[in-house]
Amino acid sequence: MAVSGADVQAFDLASPFSTPRAQRHTAQAADIVSPPCTTPRRLRMPLGPSLLNSSPATIVPGDFTGSMSLTPEAKKPAQPAVSLNDLPVELVQQIHKLADNPALPMTTRYMRSSLTHASPTYIAAYMLHQYRRVEPYNVLTFALRRRIVDIAVAEEMIRIWDYRRGYVPTELRSRRRAGARARPATARDKAGHGECDGANDGDDNNEPEPEPCTPLKPKVTRPALSVSELPKRLFRPKPGPGEPTISPLVHWLFNRFEPPLASHKNYALNRAALNQNYDMVELLLRKGADPNLRMHFPLRAAIEKKDLRLVKLLVEPFAESSDSPAKGSGKKRKLTDRIRITPGLVKDALKNGTPEIVDYFVHEKGAMPPLDQIMALGN
């Protein structure tokens, strides 16, 4: 719709800015505002990254009817920035060790895979470097909390640690002596300078002959690695279908060390009872785990799960233990139950368990329920 000059004049008269005072303020404000831009309309455009990165000398305005023209230097594509994901794996692994930051592998998938898919020797050296400031009895304990540490990595950690502290296993020393005896006798051996642990095996033509030596014991500078707790990650997940009920790392820990079973407030047995992992519960009980800790928590968990098999496994001793004769006599010794059934446990069975568990507590174990429960049953 076209607007005439009369309409504009009428609008100016009706506008509140048409008064002399408003016009005076408008004129004062016009002095402050910068003069209008004289740049051609075609050049008034936001500069992209390629233009912002180029120097002003390379931007040449063209004619006002066409677009902007750039020099050949500005037309070249920018080189992409190099990140850690573009580095070779060998260099990234060195960065892992030098960074001394356990959160670095979590930044990208490439950084994580470069560590998780490395050799057991590299992972063992990386773990020893990460925990170099902790006490020796906590080095392997802290490393076992990481998922990338398996049996092969743990064995490499022990081997590297023993080598650094100057310990040589007995079987390795025996093989060295056997190899030294099997080789032909040399002029050095005939002179009475036999091989021994720690002797110089290199070429020593310019060095004086050492005195006859005997095999020396290794000079151990630091204690051996040990395990002061059972890692929670081995007991937390519930075994799925087709998965082993007991991790091979658990068997390795019990065969190689003697970890405390009550670490983390008896977490291993409590979690095994909650997961209804019968094989794990039996293994821990055979190793000496105590189900009476934390107010019979494993048994209460079995009652809430309504699992009579787990209840009997926690309460009754193993059959082969009761068949073994006592020392000094030919009679079979009678072992007591691991858990003494109290009225409180019977009350929990009446509240959360099943009639089979209540019957097992009352008739087989001779436990009496509380008086209030007896009165409630009578009513």
DSSP per-residue string spanning 81-143: PP-GGGS-HHHHHHHHHHH--TTGGGS-HHHHHHHHTS-HHHHHHHHHHHTTTS-HHHHHHHH
Helix (H, G, I), strand (E, B) or coil at 374: helix
What does the DSSP assignment read for 172-210?
A: HHHHHHHHHHHSPP-HHHHTT----TT---S--TTSPPP
pLDDT at 97: 85
Single-letter residue type at 45: M
Instruction: State pLDDT tens for residues 162-186.
Output: 998 888 776 655 655 565 555 565 5
pLDDT at 219: 65
pLDDT at 345: 92
* pTM flag (> 0.85): no
- Could you tell me if 289 and 261 are in contact, meaning their C-beta atoms sit under 8 angstroms apart? yes
pLDDT at 203: 47
pLDDT at 145: 94
The proportion of the chain whose per-residue pLDDT surpasses 70, expressed as a percent, equals 60
Instruction: State pLDDT tens for residues 318-370.
Output: 876 544 555 555 555 567 889 999 988 998 998 888 899 999 999 898 888 87
Task: List the chain residues with pLDDT less than 50.
Answer: 8, 10-15, 17, 29-30, 32-34, 39-60, 62-67, 192-216, 322-323
Instruction: State pLDDT tens for residues 78-105.
Output: 677 778 888 899 999 889 888 888 888 8
Which helix (H) or strand (E) segment is 60 a member of?
strand 59-60
Domain residue extents for the chain: 84-164, 238-337, 341-379
pLDDT at 286: 94
Dihedral sign from CA coordinates of 221, 223, 224, 229: negative
pLDDT at 212: 44
What is the end-to-end Cα distance of the chain in Å, rounded? 94
* Helices 248-256 & 151-164 angle (0-180, nearest 10): 30
Q: How many CA atoms lie within 13 A of 169 on its CB side?
A: 7
- Could you tell me if 316 and 331 are in contact, meaning their C-beta atoms sit under 8 angstroms apart? no
pLDDT at 319: 77
Write down the number of H helices and E strands in the chain.
20, 2
In 288-361, which ranges are continuous DSSP H helix?
293-304, 308-315, 319-323, 343-352, 355-359
